[in-house]
Structure 1
Amino acid sequence: MSYTGIVEVGGAPDVRELPGLTITKVAVGPYDNNAYLLRCTTTGDQLLIDAANEAPRLLELIGDGPLSRVVTTHRHQDHWMGLSDIVRATGAPVVAHPFDAEALPEPVAHPVDNGDTVSVGRVTLEVVHLRGHTPGSIALLYEAEDRAHLFTGDSLFPGGVGNTWGDPTRFKQLLADVEERVFDRLADNTWFYPGHGKDSTLGRERPSLPEWRERGW
Structure 2
Amino acid sequence: MTEIEQVTVSMSGFEVNVYVVHAPEGDVIVDAGAEPGKILGAVRGPVVAVLLTHAHADHIGALDAVLSGTNAPFYVHPDAAEATGVGVYEPLDEGQELELAGESFRVLHTPGHAPGSVTFVVGRDQIVGDLILPGSVGRTDIDGASWEEIEVSLRKVMPLWEDETRLYAGHGPVMLAKEELATNPYLPPVVA
Alignment counterpart, residue 123 of structure 1, candidates 82, 103, 108: 103
Report deviation, 1:186: 2.3
TM-score (norm 2): 0.88
Normalising by structure 1, we get a TM-score of 0.79
Structure 2 gaps, min length 5: none
Identity %: 29
CA contact (8 A) 1:39 1:120 kept: no
CA distance in 1, matches of 2:20, 2:142: 33
CA offsets per residue over residues 117-154 of structure 1, 9 Å max, x none? 222211101011111101200111012xxxx1110001
1:133-187 Cα shifts (integer Å, max 9, x gaps): 01200111012xxxx11100011112122100179x81122012212x1112322
5+ residue gaps in structure 1?
1-19
Q: Is this contact kept in 2: 1:117–1:126, CA < 8 A?
A: yes
- What is the aligned length? 185
For residues 213 and 141 of structure 1, the distance between their equivalents in structure 2, rounded to whole angstroms, comes to 19
- 1:22 corresponds in structure 2 to 3
Structure 1 segments, 4+ long, off by >3 Å, are: none
Q: CA–CA distance in 1 between the matches of 2:110 and 2:175?
A: 18
Aligned match of 2:67: 87
Secondary structure of residue in 2 paired with 1:152:
strand
Counterparts of residues 130-149 of structure 1 (less than 5 Å):
130-143=110-123, 148-149=124-125
CA contact (8 A) 1:157 1:199 kept: no
Identify which range, 104-113 or 68-77, moves more after superposition: 104-113
Q: Larger Cα Rg: Structure 1 or Structure 2?
A: 1
